Structure 1
Amino acid sequence: MKKASFFLALALSAMFFIPSISHAASQDECAIWICLPGGFPSGCGAAKSAFEDRIDDEKSPLPPFSSCAVDYDSKMSYKQGVSVYEPAKSCTGWQAWVTNCTPQPARWVKDGTCSSMMCQRRNYIDVFVDGEAAGETFYY
C-alpha cells in the first residue's frame, strides 16, 4: 500500500516538474472539436460553455487536437478569422438596364475588408478533418 502511494505521489509530482504539451483542461473542451462543426446542436451545451470560456479567457477557441485524440488516424485542424457583412444588392431603377447587374443576398464574407465606419464584423471558425471541411462555418 505504501509503495503504491509512493509511486502515485511520484507520478503526480512529475506532472509539475516535467515540461509537457499543454493539454485540454476537460472533456468539455475536447467536445468542442465534435460539436462546433454542427453549430453546437442539442447535447453540446457543456462544449459550447467551454468554447465561450476559452474565448473569454483569451485562449484559442479550441484546445490542441493532439491533447484530445488517442490513437486517431485522421488529423483535425481549424481556421479562424474575421468576416464582414455585405448587405444585399438588388438591381432597381437605372441598374435594371445594366447587363452585368446580378442581385445578391446579404452575406458574411470571410477575411473581407470594410469600406465604411458602419461595417459589421464577426469571428468565424472552420473545422477540417484531413484537410476537408467538417460541417458549416461557425460564426460568433
Structure 2
Amino acid sequence: MLAAHALVDGRDSPALRELAGLPRRSDETEIRELYVQALHELGIPLPDEEAAGRCLLARLAFGLAKGELSPKDVADRLSMTVAARTQEEARFLSVAADYSEWIGPDDLPGWENDLRTAAHSLTTSTDVGADIGVPSSRRD
C-alpha cells in the first residue's frame, strides 16, 4: 500500500508500479528487491540500518500517539534489533520490549499507559518520521 500511496503522491517508476501491484502476501525477497530498485529509480538513497531503525521507532510512536496503531500493534511491529540514539528512543524501545503475550490483564493497562507516555515523549522530541505515513493497524 505504501507504494500505491507514493504513486498517488506523484512519485513514479517502473519498479514502484510493479511493487504497488504485488499482492499483500508476496515473497519478502521480491518485495525488498523491488523496493531497493524503486528507491534507486527515484534517486532516493537507501537509508543505513541505524537511520531506518530510528525512522521505524518514530513512525510507530507517531502512529500510537495519533491513535492509528494500538500498543499491541507497536509491540508486534517493533524489531528489537533497532538501535536507539536518543534517551526518548531508548525509553520507547525499552517499554515496547516489556510486552509479552503472557502479560497479565492487571499489568496490561499500566504497560499501555507507559508506552503511550514514551511515544508522546519521543514524538515531541524528534523530527524523524513526523511526515512519513504510518502503516494502518487494519488487516485487509
Same fold (TM over 0.5): no
Normalised to the residue count of structure 1, the TM-score between the two structures is 0.26
Normalised to the residue count of structure 2, the TM-score between the two structures is 0.26
